[in-house]
Amino acid sequence: MLKGKTALVTGSTSGIGQGVARAFAAQGCNIMLNGFGDADEIEAARAAMEKEFSVKVAYHGADLTDVAQIEDLLQTAADTFGTVDILVNNAGIQHVAPIEDFPVEKYDKIIALNMNASWHTMRLAVPGMKKAGWGRIINIASAHALIASPFKSAYVTAKHGVAGMTKTVALEVAQHGITVNAICPGYVWTPLVEAQIPDTARSRGISEEAVINDVLLLNQPTKAFTTIEQVGGMAVFLAGPAADNITGSLQSMDGGWSAQ
Ligand code: NAD
C-alpha cells in the first residue's frame, strides 16, 4: 500500500525517528533521513537501510532550527524523490530546569526545533501533497502535548503548540486527501530520555534510579516504557488506508498516563 511512497522523517539518525524511518522502509517507502551524528555512522546506517529493505535512502543534515536549512531539506527531498508523500516531524530536544534557572537560549532552541520546525516543514510539504491529492503528516508530539510536568516549561509549551498546529492544519487540508495527526508517546527508552535523567535527578535532589522508577514511570500505569517499534507501527498505521478518515487526532501511546 505504501510501497514506492517517499517518507521524510526528521531527526531520524537516532531513537524514535530512526525506528519510524525503518518502519516505513520496511513497507517499501523511499526514505529521506535527517538529523545529527557522526558522518560515517550515518552513512553506514543509510546504506544498511537501503540494502536491508531494497529502497532508496537519502540523507540531509539540515539543522531544523534554521529556516533556510529546512527549505533546503524539503527542496532536496523533492528533487531526489519527486515528492514528499509522508512527512514525519520527529526531531526534538529536551532540557529540564526550573523556570527561573532555564537558560533563555535553550528555551528558544526548543521552541524553534520542537515546534516551529514542524510548522515550516508542513508549510513546505503541503503544496506537493495537495498537487498529488494524497499526503500523510505525522507529528511526533508527546504525552506532554496533553499534560504538563514540572521543570519542562519549554518542552511542554512546544508540544502543546504541535498539538494545536496538528489540529489546525488537519482542518485546512481535510478535503485534499491529506491527513495530519500527532502521536503522543509517554516515555520511550531513547537517548533523549537517558540524557535527561542526570538533570532530573539534580533538579529533584534524588538518585538516577529513583528518577526512572518514581518520576519517569510514576505516571505510566503499565509501568512500561513505550517502545520505538510501537511508535513506528502507529506511524505506519496512520499512513495506511485504515486511517484514511483519522485526522486532527492526538494518539496517546503512554501506558494510560493521560487517562488519569
Ligand atoms: P533522540 O535524541 O534519540 O533523537 C533526536 C533526533 O533529533 C536525533 O536524530 C537528532 O540528531 C535530531 N536533532 C536534534 N537536534 C536537531 C536539529 N537542530 N536539527 C535536526 N535534527 C536534530 O530523541 P527521541 O527520544 O528519539 O525523540 C524523538 C522525538 O520524540 C522528539 O520530538 C521527542 O520530543 C519525542 N518524544 C520522545 C519521547 C521519549 O520518551 N523518548 C516521548 C515522547 C515524545
Q: Which residues contact 137 (CB under 8 A, 6 or more apart)?
A: 86, 87, 88, 89, 122, 125, 126, 129, 166, 169, 178, 179, 180, 181
* 89 Cα to the center of ligand 1, angstroms: 10
Can you give the pTM of this predicted structure?
0.96
Atom of ligand 1 nearest to the CA of 114: 32
Query: Position 21: which residue type?
Result: A
* 35 Cα to the center of ligand 1, angstroms: 9
The answer to whether residue 159 scores a pLDDT higher than 90 is yes
Domains of the chain listed by start with CATH number:
6-187+226-253 (3.40.50.720), 189-224 (no CATH)
Choice among 39-48, 185-194, 248-257 with the minimum mean pLDDT? 185-194
- Helix%, strand%, coil% for the chain, nearest 5: 55, 15, 35
Q: What is the pLDDT of residues 18-66, one digit of tens each?
A: 999 999 999 999 999 999 999 999 999 999 999 999 999 999 999 999 9
Q: Which of 41, 144, 190 to mutate to test the pocket of ligand 1 (most atoms within 8 A of CB)?
A: 190
* 140 Cα to the center of ligand 1, angstroms: 9
pLDDT band at 83 (very low <50, low <70, confident <90, very high): very high
**Cβ(140) to ligand 1 under 6 A?**
yes
Atom of ligand 1 nearest to the CA of 191: 3
**How far is residue 58's CA from residue 143's CA, in Å, rounded to a whole number?**
30
- Out of 59, 107, 155, 187, which one is annotated catalytic? 155
The answer to whether residue 196 scores a pLDDT higher than 90 is no
Active site (annotated) includes residue 59:
no
